[in-house]
Structure 1
C-alpha cells in the first residue's frame, strides 16, 4: 500500500470517521425520529450507542486494520470461506443505503439553490407564505417526485464524490474532511443557538427530552432507536472496515472509535436542538407542534427551517448557512459509501480509474428510482435501514465465531493505549446476537403496513412501501445470490493470490 493510499496521521482517520458518521442522518433523520418519539427514543438511542454501535465499530475498525481489504474480503478472512455470502450482504445493504442516500445530497443542493434565490427575489419567502401557506410543502412535493433537476443534481454529486476520491486517500478524502467537518460543527452550533433563543423555542427542548414511559412497550421505537444509532454512527455498514483498511499499521482502534461515536451523537443532539425548538417557535399552538412532529414527516427539516428563517431579518442568509451545512454533512458521508464500493472493486483487480467509472454507472442506475419516486425512496430507507440490524448481526457472528475474547486482545487492544473492558466487549458481542434476533422477530410480528404479508387480494404484498413482504423479499434475494455465489466471491475477494 502506497503512502498516498493510507491516512497521514490519527486526525486523518478520525475526521474521515466523523465524516462517515456525521451526515444527513443527523440533520434530516434524527430530528424526525426525536420529534416522533421524544425522550423515550433518545434514551434508547443513547443506550444502543454503548451496547450496539460502539462494540460493532470497534470490531469493524479492527477487521479493516488487520486484513487491509474491502468488506467482502476482510469479512471472509475473519469468518471463514463458507460465510463469505454474509460479507456480500453487508456490502449490498450499505450500497442499498448509498444509492438512495445520494438523493438526500441532491435535496440539500436544491434547498441551497432555493435559499440563494430567495435572497435575491424581490418578494420575500415570508410574503410568499402569507399568500400561500402551502408554498414550502408544494416546493418539497415538486422536487421529491419525478423532478429532473433533482435527478441531475444527484448525478452531479456522484461525479463530484468520485472526483474527490480519485485524488486518493490523503489528497482526496482526508483533505476534504479537514474542511467539511469543522465547518459543519460551527454552522450547527449557530443554528441551534438561534432556534433556542426564539419565543417558545425552549418548549421544543423540553419536548425533545420528555419521556413517555408507555412508549417503551412500542417495538417500533426500539427498532428505530437501534437503526438510527447504526444508521448515524455507521455501525454495521462496513464503512469503518473500509476506512480502517487505509489506516497506518500502529493506528489506535479504541480511542479513534470513541471519538467518532461521541462526535456523531453530539452532532445529532445539536441538530435536534435546532429543528425541534424551531417547530415549537413557529407552530400556532403546543398541540399543533406536537401533532406535526409526530406525523413523522420526511420533509420536516426541509420545510421547517426555511419557514423558521423567513420570520426575521437576515433569515435568508441563515437559511443559506443551514443548507450549506446539510449539504456538507450529506456529502461527507457519501464519500466513504462510494469508497466502500470502489475498494471492493479494487479487490477484484480493477484499477482505481476503472473502479470509479463503474461506481458512477452503478450509482446512476440504482439511485434513479429513489430520485424519481419518494415512495421508492421511503421503501429503500425502511428496507436497508432495518437491514443494518442484520448486517450488524453478521459482523457479531464473525467476531464470536473467531473468539470474542481473543479478537479483543489481539486486534482491538493492539496499539491501543485507551482500552475498554474485555468483559464489556465479549458480553456485547454475544448478547447483541440475541438482541438482534429478538428485535427482528418483534418487529416482524407487529407489521407496520395495513397488509404486512399479503394484500387484500391475497397476493404477496411486495410493492407496499412498509410491508414485511417487501423487506424480506429484498433481503432474501440478496442472501440467495450471495449464497449461490459464495465460492466465487471467496476466490475473487479473499483467497490469497
Structure 2
C-alpha cells in the first residue's frame, strides 16, 4: 500500500502527547471567546450544554482523527489514500488545507498578542491610564485594523518565525518541549489570575452571572446552537490536527482516554478564563454588558487592557493574562503549521524544507489578513465555518471505512475505558453538522438582505454565505484536480519499530 521508511518520529511520553494535543485545543477560543459567549447566552445553562456538546460532538471527532493518524502513520492526505483508496487523497488534502488556511489568518492574532505582551513591559498601561478607553481603541485601530496595517504585518512575520523555529526542531526537541512548558503555564497563569480577581470588590457579580441557571434557557434553540458552535471551535475537534499529532503517538496509545482528557482539559481552561474575565469586567467596568459585546478584539485589546490600566496590581494581571494568551495562541499556530509540514513530509520533503515551504505559504496568504482587517474577518468566517465541513468529512470517512471495524481493531484494544456508544455517536455527526452549519448560513444570510449570494469583493461581502461557499468550492476544486499528483507522491515516512 505504501513505501515504508523506518525510524519515524514519536512523542517521548503520554504526558508529552497530552500537553501537545491540549496545546492545539486550548487557544484564543477558550480565553477570549468563551467568556463572551457565556455573557451573551445567560450563563449557566450555556455552560452545561457546552459540556454535553463536548462529549457528543468533540469526543467522537477526536477519536476519528486520532485513529486515522495512529492507524496509518500518515497525515491527512496520506491517511485518506491508505484507508479509502487513491482517489480520496484529495479529500484528505482538502481537510489539511482548511486547517492551513485557518492558520494563515490565525497567526495574525498571535502577532497582535506578541505586540501587546511587549507593550505591557514597556509602559503601555501608563498611556492607557492617561488616555482611557478612547486611547486604547484608537491605538488598536491604528495598529491592527486600519489598512494598510504595516506594523501588524511586521508582528505577523515575527509570529510566523517564532512558530517555524519550534517546528524546525521536530517533535520531541521542538513541539513537545514547547508545549510541556506553555500548556501547564496557561493553566497556572489563569489560576493565579483567578485568585487575584476573586479579591476584587464586586467580583461576585460576575460569578453570580456566570453560574446562574435559568431552566427556560434549556429550551432556547439559540443557546443550544451557540454551545455546539463553541464546543466545535474551542476543542479543535474535526480540524485535522489531532490526526497529525497521532501520527507520532505510541502504538499502544489510548485514543478514547486521550479524547476524554483533552475535552475535559479544554473545558477547564475555558472555565478558568471565564472566571477570570467575567468577574473582572463586572467588578471594574461601569457597563459590563457593553464591554462583553465589544467583540473578541475589543474585549481583549481595548477593554481588558483599559481595566488592567486602572486596577491596583493591573500590571501583574496584564502580564499574566497576555502570557497565557500568548502561550495558548502559539501552541495552536504550531499545530496548524505542523499539519502542513507533516503532509509535505509524507510527500517526500524533509522537515526543514517542508517547514520553509509552509511558513512561506503562511506568510504570503496571511499577509492579506495582516494588512487589511476586512480580509481577516472574511477569512475568520470562511475557514472557521469550514472546520465544520472537515468534521463532516471525518465522520463520513469513518462510516465508509467502518465504525465498528475501527473500534474493534484500533480503539478498543488499547483503551482503559470502553464507552462504545460515544464513539458510535460519530454516525450522527452529519445531522449535527446540518443543525449547526444551517444555522450559520441562515444567520449570515440575514446580515445581507438580498445580497447573501454575493462574494466579491470580499472586503465588502465579508460574511456572506456566497463568499463562504465560493472559497470552499475553489479550494476543493484545486485539491481534486491535484489528486493524482498528490497521490503518486505520498509515501509512508513515519513507520515505528
CA displacement at 1:66 relative to structure 2 = 0.8
* Cα RMSD, aligned residues only: 2.4
1:126 corresponds to 2:126: no
Moved more, 149-158 or 61-70: 149-158
Query: Contact conserved, 2:73 with 2:492, CA < 8 A, in 1?
Result: no
CA separation of 1:416/1:190 partners in 2, compared to 1, >3 Å: closer, same or farther? Answer: same
CA displacement at 1:195 relative to structure 2 = 2.2
CA separation of 1:298/1:442 partners in 2, compared to 1, >3 Å: closer, same or farther? Answer: same
1:341 corresponds to 2:345: no
CA separation of 1:198/1:474 partners in 2, compared to 1, >3 Å: closer, same or farther? Answer: same
1:65 corresponds to 2:67: no
1:27 corresponds to 2:24: no
Matching residue of 2:138 = 138
1:157 corresponds to 2:156: no
Query: Contact conserved, 1:70 with 1:242, CA < 8 A, in 2?
Result: yes
CA distance in 2, matches of 1:308, 1:203: 16
Moved more, 228-237 or 357-366: 228-237
Deviation sequence 1:189-231 (CA, Å, 0-9, x none): 1112222331222222222234566766776654543333222
Matching residue of 1:5 = 9
Matching residue of 1:465 = 462
Query: Contact conserved, 1:76 with 1:494, CA < 8 A, in 2?
Result: no
Matching residue of 2:108 = 103
Which of 469, 472, 477 is residue 480 of structure 1 equivalent to?
A: 477
CA displacement at 1:79 relative to structure 2 = 3.1
Length, aligned pairs only? 484
CA distance in 2, matches of 1:141, 1:196: 32
TM-score by length of 1: 0.90
Matches within 5 A, 1:228-243: 228-243=230-245
Query: Contact conserved, 1:275 with 1:301, CA < 8 A, in 2?
Result: no
Query: Contact conserved, 1:97 with 1:384, CA < 8 A, in 2?
Result: yes
1:92 corresponds to 2:97: yes
Query: Contact conserved, 2:100 with 2:340, CA < 8 A, in 1?
Result: yes
CA displacement at 1:270 relative to structure 2 = 0.5
Query: Contact conserved, 1:452 with 1:468, CA < 8 A, in 2?
Result: no
Matching residue of 1:263 = 265
CA distance in 2, matches of 1:83, 1:48: 29
CA separation of 1:46/1:35 partners in 2, compared to 1, >3 Å: closer, same or farther? Answer: same
Aligned partner of residue 349 in structure 2, secondary structure: coil
Unaligned runs of 5+ in 2: none
Matching residue of 1:42 = 47
CA distance in 1, matches of 2:475, 2:223: 27
Matches within 5 A, 1:197-346: 197-211=199-213, 221-284=223-286, 288-346=287-345
CA displacement at 1:459 relative to structure 2 = 5.5
CA displacement at 1:486 relative to structure 2 = 3.0
CA distance in 2, matches of 1:454, 1:4: 51
TM-score by length of 2: 0.90
CA displacement at 1:38 relative to structure 2 = 3.4
Matching residue of 1:18 = 22
Matching residue of 2:172 = 170
Matching residue of 1:392 = 391
Matching residue of 1:185 = 187
1:425 corresponds to 2:423: yes
CA separation of 1:48/1:290 partners in 2, compared to 1, >3 Å: closer, same or farther? Answer: same
Which of 139, 147, 150 is residue 148 of structure 1 equivalent to?
A: 150
Aligned partner of residue 264 in structure 1, secondary structure: helix
CA displacement at 1:160 relative to structure 2 = 1.6
Which of 198, 201, 224 is residue 196 of structure 1 equivalent to?
A: 198
